[in-house]
Amino acid sequence: MTAMITASFDFWGKWRQQVLSAAGLITLFVMVMILIRPDTMPYLTAEPFSGSSWFKDGINLAIGGFVDWAKPTLRAISHVVEEAVRGLQFGLHHLPWLSFLAIVTWLGWRLSGPGLALLVAASIFYMAASGLWIKSMNTLAMVGVAIPLALSFGFAMGVFAAKSKLAGRVIEPSLDLMQTIPTFAYLVPLIVLFGFGPVPGVIASMIYAAPPITRNVMLGLQQVPSELKDVAAISGSSRWQTFAMIELPSAKKQILVGVNQSILASLSMVIIAAVIGGFDDIGREVLVATNKGSARFGEALSAGIIIVLMAVVIDRLSRAASDISRMKKSLSSRRQALIITGIAIIIGFLFPMQGFIDAAASVFRVTEAVINDGLAQFIKSYGIFLDLIKNNALIYVLLPMRIGLEQAVLPFTWGVTFTNEAQIIYLIGIIGTSCLMLFRGQKAMGLFLLAVGLIMFRGFTALPWWAVTGCVCLAAWNTSGLRLAAMCFAMMLFITLFGHWADALYSLYLCSAAVFICMVIGCPLGILAAKSDRASNILRPINDTLQSIPLYIFLIPAVALFQISEFSALVAIVLYAIVPMIRYTEHGLRSVPTQLVEATTAQGCTPLQRLFYIELPVARPSILLGLNQTVLFALAMLIIAVLVGARGLAEQVNIGLRSGDTGLGITAGLSMAFIAIMADRILRSWASNLGRSQ
């Protein structure tokens, strides 16, 4: 019996391998034909169902109906939320800055110590002195409403998902969607439902910031030891008693991790939501200044610093507050808190220090002007180099990737002509080399070379939809199984059906370019960090900073140096997405077992041999996970990068947002989310396969 089962598994496994390789070969063959001579089979390369808009129309119609039906309720909710934001805003506007500074500084002192207090005081002083106090307070008012909403929503979902299997089955996959659908995509329907103003931003931030806390609540509740649940049961405690006295306190630590993440996500989202406008906040200030290009770099910088400071301060404060013992201590001194607050408010009103603030603000304005001038000077003297970088990247990397060597190689760009003979030699070279590699057993490398070579020949934009769909499904099948393959097929079909194929290709292209650059720069940096503690110590704080600041900020330096262009978008994406590549490479290399390293050294390997033959292969699963994160980060940044010149799906989402075309926004947004989900699933199962086989 067992033998039969094993035999049938063997048969299935072999059959699967054969089908996979057969399908792979056919797909490859047709793709090669098409890429070489696209005009011979136009019906295969044309975009299918282009111009199909029934889904968009359908969504617009459905939302229209829903809005009419739900408007009174939703507007009432909107009204309540808006009142809350306005109320908080009113309070913050009328609280003298000195009082605010004193109260929060005292809080920082109580929660952590003089270090945090100093950081808080300096940050708040910066907000006041920069002349952006009102805008900062507007942002804080939104954040102040958004955070509790996001936390309670996420917490409720987490408890629900952990307690009810059915709810879990619904909630778990929706968490993926909530985090991967670009925010702009649901901002459109939110605006339609809740009207303009701060409310859609708050609601969007609630959706975006809920998943971390939900996931951590679920995780925490699942990790409660079963023996403790038995103890509760045998003591005869009711479900509620078990939950309140045993499960929740046991999960507390895990939940607090989620609280911190959610708070940061919420802040990040509130700032992104500034795109809608209508609530003169600090995010808006950055956006406007950034869009003016290098001429207002100083202004963008001083506003951007406020966002970074806010993120850092809120992060540190919430982390300190989650330290339980300290919290108890500071709660016990509630009366002291009241007294301090009272004194602070009185002092604040007695000494408004308006003159001082005005003077400081004028210093800021002068500094900004100096920075602007400096930048202008810098661009004037080094602009040639900047342009050189930009143009070279464009001509030798971006353009060939997009439209292929075939069209990109022209006498006035490359200085040579890509003659027919040269094309044939190129193709024979690529196909020959990869075939040679395939026959020598280096299957993955051979296929990779072939794919890259062909894509570079014709460009991303020429990829036919069915071939990419086939490749993605095959990859999914091979790494995970039929289920993932079916899911990928459905998602690819969705993207094509709703006429987003061309845009998806463009997004894929920009993302691939960014990921490629991240790999080329990030991997060596990671290796360096793994080999040298000094490099690691320098890189770590930089990575921390790059990861904790809201995505927005990356646009400022990119635009300042390279204006609004595709290249700026690329720079911003690379800056943000390179961090996981560095981190995971370092982590993977550092966790190679010492025994293994010593064994290879004893066998007489040079450090370089050891790196290539032992360490990198062993670290491969970890590096793959880093690649996975980098892809996801790049996709997330893509949607922000649209503000400075990216195109593709992200642009469609943005157009949907601006023109109020809900269907366009949602389908383009979902397409981006699907790409992210597919990349994530395939790369992750690949990494876990590798990890298992080692």
Partner 1 sequence: MSSLRATSKIHPVTLSCDGLWKVFGSQVEKLRQNADLMAMSAHERGQALRDDGYIVGAEDISFSVHAGELFVIMGLSGSGKSTVLRCIAQLQQPTFGHVMLDGVCLDTMPEAELREIRRRKMGMVFQNFGLVPHFTALQNIAFPLKVRGESRANIMAKAEEMLKLVGLEGRGNAFPSELSGGQQQRVGIARSLAVDPEIWLLDEPFSALDPLIRRQLQDELIELQSRLKKSIVFVTHDFSEAVRLADRIAIMRDGRMVQLGRPADLLLRPADDYVTSFVRDVSRLQVLRLEDVMTPASKAPNDFKNAVSLDGKTTLEKCLIDLAPGQKHIIVTGYQGKIIGHFTRDHLLQIANNEGEK
Least distance CB 3 / partner 1 (angstroms): 17
Select 22 or 245, whichever has its Cβ closest to partner 1: 245
Least distance CB 249 / partner 1 (angstroms): 4
Contact predicate 539/545, CB 8 Å: no
Question: For residue 64, which amino acid is it?
Answer: G
Least distance CB 216 / partner 1 (angstroms): 17
Can you list the alpha helix ranges (DSSP code H) found in 552-615? 555-562, 566-590, 594-602, 607-610
Contact predicate 578/624, CB 8 Å: no
Least distance CB 250 / partner 1 (angstroms): 7
Residues 123-143: b if buried by 16+ CB within 10 A, e if exposed? bbbbbbbbbbbebbbbbbbbb
Select 6 or 532, whichever has its Cβ closest to partner 1: 6
Least distance CB 4 / partner 1 (angstroms): 15
Q: Among 544, 565, 534, which Cα is nearest to 645's?
A: 565
Q: How many CB atoms within 10 Å of residue 517?
A: 20
Give the span between the Cα atoms of 526 and 543, in whole angstroms.
Answer: 11
Select 236 or 541, whichever has its Cβ closest to partner 1: 236
Select 224 or 619, whichever has its Cβ closest to partner 1: 224
Select 5 or 602, whichever has its Cβ closest to partner 1: 5
Select 68 or 227, whichever has its Cβ closest to partner 1: 227
Least distance CB 234 / partner 1 (angstroms): 4
Contact predicate 551/640, CB 8 Å: yes
Least distance CB 151 / partner 1 (angstroms): 21
Interface with partner 1 by CB under 8 A: which residues? 225, 227-228, 230-238, 241, 245-246, 249-250, 252
Least distance CB 258 / partner 1 (angstroms): 18
Angle at CA of residue 650, ends 644 and 656, nearest 5°: 105
Least distance CB 448 / partner 1 (angstroms): 44
Residue 308's Cβ-count burial label (10 Å; 0-12, 13-18, 19+) is middle
Contact predicate 251/214, CB 8 Å: no
Least distance CB 228 / partner 1 (angstroms): 6
Select 242 or 652, whichever has its Cβ closest to partner 1: 242
Contact predicate 645/568, CB 8 Å: yes
Residue 487's Cβ-count burial label (10 Å; 0-12, 13-18, 19+) is middle
Q: Among 562, 631, 455, 421, which Cα is nearest to 31's?
A: 455
Least distance CB 479 / partner 1 (angstroms): 29
Select 246 or 269, whichever has its Cβ closest to partner 1: 246
Give the span between the Cα atoms of 573 and 642, in whole angstroms.
Answer: 11
Select 236 or 604, whichever has its Cβ closest to partner 1: 236
Q: How many CB atoms within 10 Å of residue 635?
A: 28
Least distance CB 235 / partner 1 (angstroms): 4
Least distance CB 453 / partner 1 (angstroms): 52
Residue with tokens 């994530």: 680
Give the span between the Cα atoms of 76 and 693, in whole angstroms.
Answer: 57
Select 40 or 222, whichever has its Cβ closest to partner 1: 222
Least distance CB 165 / partner 1 (angstroms): 16
Select 237 or 545, whichever has its Cβ closest to partner 1: 237
Select 228 or 359, whichever has its Cβ closest to partner 1: 228
Give the span between the Cα atoms of 146 and 478, in whole angstroms.
Answer: 43
Give the span between the Cα atoms of 154 and 160, in whole angstroms.
Answer: 10
Give the span between the Cα atoms of 654 and 640, in whole angstroms.
Answer: 10
Q: Which two tokens stand for residue 184?
A: 């702009």
Contact predicate 154/240, CB 8 Å: no
Q: Which two tokens stand for residue 576?
A: 């943000």
**C-alpha dist (Å) from residue 602 to 173, 282, 593, 610, 617:** 49, 59, 14, 11, 19
**C-alpha dist (Å) from residue 681 to 19, 57, 124, 209:** 22, 31, 43, 22
Select 53 or 237, whichever has its Cβ closest to partner 1: 237
Select 118 or 228, whichever has its Cβ closest to partner 1: 228
Give the span between the Cα atoms of 680 and 673, in whole angstroms.
Answer: 10
Least distance CB 240 / partner 1 (angstroms): 11
Select 93 or 252, whichever has its Cβ closest to partner 1: 252
Select 228 or 425, whichever has its Cβ closest to partner 1: 228
Q: What is the DSSP string of 382-431?
A: HHHHHHHHHHHIIIIIIHHHHH-HHHH--TTTTSS---HHHHHHHHHHHH
Contact predicate 227/316, CB 8 Å: no
Give the span between the Cα atoms of 106 and 118, in whole angstroms.
Answer: 10
Least distance CB 624 / partner 1 (angstroms): 36
Give the span between the Cα atoms of 174 and 177, in whole angstroms.
Answer: 5
